[in-house]
Amino acid sequence: MKHLIARMTCTLGLLLGSLAATAAPAGAAPATNMTTVTNLAGGSCLEMPGWTGQPGAQAAVWGCNDGDNQNWVFNSMGGGFFQIVNRSSGQCLELAGLPPTTSNGTAVTQWPCNNGRNQLWWFDHWRNVNGQATAELKSAYTGCLEINGWQAGTWGTGAQLWGCNNGDNQRWAFAHDFIFNH
């Protein structure tokens, strides 16, 4: 009987040890559709300033701090389009108005998500920059999400729409664990 208990204890110890060895390391985050969005030109993160939940507030860049106001959820809407939802406010990035203004310099704001075309974005010109995935974020209408090129490194500079030119002020980097499904 002693031998049976000893064998069972040994087997149980080996089993638990092998399970622990195959478990994910502590602190390992699973891949997610939520990410920070960092402007390549200035190295600042896209955010909703002051954690505002005010509809119509303009998105801007600020020093990256991984706050909820700097985390964005990319919800697939089909056809390669996404809604970009701020984690803090729960609102979508959009071009204001229906039909929206689409001229260069149009402010990119947040508004309650409503499945409107003015809230749809898609990725273009993916490329690897220093080991990080980067892309342009294009509006379903026209133009790219950018930070004014002359102020890309200035915290508080508002996000705007501009004709796509593949400049670094229109290029955005995403967290390493970011995945998206389309």
Helix (H) or strand (E) holding 7: helix 2-22
Which residue reads 């974020």 in tokens?
137
| Residue pair 56/96 in contact by the 8 Å Cβ criterion | yes
Which residue reads 């020093």 in tokens?
63
The beta strands (E) that lie in the chain are given as 34-35, 37-39, 45-47, 60-62, 72-78, 81-86, 92-95, 108-111, 121-129, 132-139, 144-147, 159-162, 171-174
| Residue pair 136/173 in contact by the 8 Å Cβ criterion | no
Q: How many whole angstroms from its chain centre is CA 75?
A: 10
pLDDT in tens, 129-146: 888 889 999 999 999 999
Residues pairing with 78 in the sheet: 81
Q: Is the bond into 99 cis (omega within 30 degrees of 0)?
A: yes
What's the rounded mean pLDDT across residues 151-171? 93
Q: How far is CA 138 from CA 1, 51, 110, in A?
A: 72, 24, 16
Domains along the chain? 33-174 (2.80.10.50)
Share of the chain above pLDDT 70, in %: 79
pLDDT of 9 reads 33
Which residue reads 């997610």 in tokens?
32
Q: How many residues does the chain have?
A: 182
pLDDT in tens, 51-103: 999 999 999 999 999 999 999 999 999 999 999 999 999 999 999 877 888 99
